[in-house]
Chains A and B, each alone.
Chain A
């Protein structure tokens, strides 16, 4: 089972692309990685995602490549040790002084210039009894704080309809939606809710003879750092790559399959009393 959020890795790829296209300089990428690594290392040892640490370190090594080319053999060896070791204390000792000074300088420059770089993702975790899968929003922000704030006493707006047009009018765009449902399942309603920071869209399908629903949930937020969602399950599930750009977490809840996946600022899920194959086809049809 893969124990990381693929979206995080997609973010790394995008970061690398931005660096290669000259949109972000080496120091910034390096500092972002430094902060991501630092954030990871503040977790309990059992929660540390070594794959994620490796990826961050690899990207740091990549952007520092030019320097490393000219570096001494000892410097290169140090990199190898870091990349293969991934030991908390070792990493802390290695980066504490230089890394944090660089971070502070980078932050100061970004604050002074008013530039803001935000890096967001959802971190998965399992409860100790494996009955709850949680996606927790994480955000690293360099520069001006762009975090959304909820209006005081903010009253959410709600919409329950069977009209796609009404749903689109309510949320202001055409949401991703399934184009395929298993035989016998028909749309019961679209349910949408939103406030200043979050928007939920749920597409509910029903089938004669069953009280359980087949549903696709889509939650979008402009305040990733505050969101944490629990998904209930029978046991720890597994990650499966359904498409190049789509990794999903598959589990069961009361023997019914459910799928959960995320992007940098949204969480999606689908569940229902259908087979896992049908659920996968259902998820793959969501565009």
Chain B
């Protein structure tokens, strides 16, 4: 009887672990809040744009990083100041000049994290040569 209880406990534990692992793997990463997000850069000026599915008390860019293409891979170049946040809105659209962080002839891309309604998404710009 004791062996049977042990066996059942082991099976339940194992099954729980399997279910937990599986659910962790398939949990949707799609955003409940964000519909779209983008960051683009032209002549050193970045344009941030996003649209959410529900009204959010605030939409903001919480982190912004400049990466440069060096020796065949992307490496950290600089931490950029984040643009201002927007309140009580569904859309976010702003620009910020980062030309002072860039050197002529270097290929860059910008990685930005948007946050709204407790959700966050990270998006990367197309690469561009300043």
| Contacts from A to B (Cβ < 8 Å) | 129, 131, 136-137, 148-156, 158, 191, 193, 195, 197-198, 200, 202, 204, 211-213, 215, 217, 219, 223, 225-234, 253-254, 256, 258, 269, 271-272
Given A227-B126, A230-B37, A271-B53, check contact A200 B93 (CB 8 Å).
yes
CB nearest neighbor in A for B29: A131
B18-49 with Cβ < 8 A to chain A: 28-32, 34-38, 40-45, 47, 49
B107, CB-defined interface residue at 8 Å: no
- Point out the residue from B29, B35, B99 that lies within 8 Å of A129, measured CB to CB: B29
B55, CB-defined interface residue at 8 Å: yes
Number of B positions contacting A (CB below 8 A): 36
A226 adjacent to B126 (CB under 8 Å)? yes
- Point out the residue from A155, A204, A228, A230 that lies within 8 Å of B90, measured CB to CB: A204
A195 to B95 alpha-carbon distance, docked (Å): 8
- Point out the residue from B55, B99, B123 that lies within 8 Å of A211, measured CB to CB: B55
A56 to B34 alpha-carbon distance, docked (Å): 36
Which residues of the other chain, B, contact A217 by a CB distance below 8 angstroms?
Answer: 35-36, 51
Given A152-B99, A229-B38, A232-B35, check contact A202 B30 (CB 8 Å).
no
Given A155-B95, A217-B36, check contact A232 B47 (CB 8 Å).
no
B32, B34, B36, B44: most-surrounded residue (chain A CB, <10 A):
B36
CB nearest neighbor in A for B92: A193
Which residues of the other chain, B, contact A234 by a CB distance below 8 angstroms?
Answer: 28, 30
A22 to B60 alpha-carbon distance, docked (Å): 51
| Contacts from B to A (Cβ < 8 Å) | 28-32, 34-38, 40-45, 47, 49, 51, 53-55, 89-91, 93-95, 97, 99, 121, 123-126, 128
Which residues of the other chain, A, contact B34 by a CB distance below 8 angstroms?
Answer: 232
B95 adjacent to A232 (CB under 8 Å)? no
A231 adjacent to B126 (CB under 8 Å)? no
A230 adjacent to B121 (CB under 8 Å)? yes
A282 to B113 alpha-carbon distance, docked (Å): 31
Give the top 3 A-B pairs by smallest Cβ distance, nearest first: A193-B93, A229-B38, A232-B31
Query: What's the minimum C-beta distance from B84 to chain A, rounded to whole angstroms?
Result: 11
Which residues of the other chain, A, contact B123 by a CB distance below 8 angstroms?
Answer: 228, 230
A48 to B23 alpha-carbon distance, docked (Å): 33
Given A131-B28, A213-B90, check contact A154 B40 (CB 8 Å).
no
A225 to B47 alpha-carbon distance, docked (Å): 13
A223 adjacent to B42 (CB under 8 Å)? yes
Query: What's the minimum C-beta distance from A3 to chain B, rounded to whole angstroms?
Result: 20
Which residues of the other chain, B, contact A198 by a CB distance below 8 angstroms?
Answer: 40, 47, 49
A150 adjacent to B36 (CB under 8 Å)? no
Which residues of the other chain, B, contact A155 by a CB distance below 8 angstroms?
Answer: 95
- Point out the residue from B32, B44, B91 that lies within 8 Å of A200, measured CB to CB: B91
Given A191-B90, A256-B53, check contact A226 B97 (CB 8 Å).
no
Query: What's the minimum C-beta distance from A25 to chain B, rounded to whole angstroms?
Result: 31
B55 adjacent to A226 (CB under 8 Å)? no
Query: What's the minimum C-beta distance from A138 to chain B, rounded to whole angstroms?
Result: 9
CB nearest neighbor in B for A229: B38
B30 adjacent to A215 (CB under 8 Å)? no
A200 to B55 alpha-carbon distance, docked (Å): 18
Which residues of the other chain, B, contact A129 by a CB distance below 8 angstroms?
Answer: 29
A21 to B34 alpha-carbon distance, docked (Å): 45
A213 to B55 alpha-carbon distance, docked (Å): 8
CB nearest neighbor in B for A256: B53
Query: What's the minimum C-beta distance from B36 to chain A, rounded to whole angstroms?
Result: 5
A215 adjacent to B90 (CB under 8 Å)? yes
- Point out the residue from B37, B94, B128 that lies within 8 Å of A226, measured CB to CB: B128
